[in-house]
Chain A
């Protein structure tokens, strides 16, 4: 394990990881992670629009993790478990998240993201407005706006993947690029 710490450090350095977290996500942790990234962005990113977009994307991604992720299948913990990482790229920033979801939700989520990815910016905005005005609420209030907003703030396509974990669960990975 000891020699792997250096490998881990090297790997993170190579990928220019600004922050990474794996574990149970509480409301306090969401605040702490947002605060850390906000301070760091203030120091390294001169463009306020990019700073705000990265903050917005991270905020929505963390909320998704907080609300939608399940505990690691088969573990004794009942807490939501996930991973989040922010990396600096040549062209901007990447916000990466990963979490367990119920296998039966995969098709719906995939369909939603494919629909978003197929829309040019003006139609994406229209989709946002329609969803905002549709009067439907999810339990946390977002009502289907989260992914649309993430895509709008990113300006790029949502990159995603699903890996079957066991009979009932899958691991969902999402990469959102915010170009500066």
Chain B
């Protein structure tokens, strides 16, 4: 299985999903008009990954902004990872937020309240690649 790599753009995040290390990254901004189109390949990739996942998977989410069109798609990524965890693998979501961005911390807590995956919030100085 190949890694999924997408460069970031002003409206879409940098994506790097590595099947060899189980390290998944979503960084930058997720504010496209149509998020379903953008997230479909990510969901499909996770679908395939979940058939033979690493014993440890970590998804790092480091977003400066995301729109509500992305919100449910991001939840879908987490749901796919719930599936990976349900088959006995270790899965962690690491939700990064800028120190002055309480709203982003709250957004992470909203997800943490919905999904059944260990969820860590990590305070950072600034989102990478701004």
Contacts and interface: CB of A to CB of B under 8 A. Distances in A.
A31 interface: yes
A24 B10 CA distance: 21
B72 A132 contact: yes
Contacts of A27: 33
Interface of B is mostly: helix
B34 A141 contact: yes
Nearest to A49: B100
A65 to B, nearest CB: 11
B44 interface: no
Of the four ranges (under 10, 10 to 19, 20 to 34, 35 or more), the interface on chain B belongs to 20 to 34
B103 A53 contact: yes
B72 A49 contact: no
B62 interface: no
B71 A132 contact: yes
Interface string B94-109: 0000101111001000
Interface of B: 10-11, 31, 33-36, 39, 65, 67-73, 75, 98, 100-103, 106, 110-111, 113-114
Interface of A: 27, 30-31, 34-35, 48-49, 52-53, 55-56, 59-60, 63, 66-67, 125, 128-129, 132-133, 137, 139-143, 145-146, 148-149, 153
Given A31-B11, A132-B114, 8 more contacts: A49-B100, A49-B102, A63-B67, A132-B110, A142-B67, A142-B69, A143-B68, A149-B71
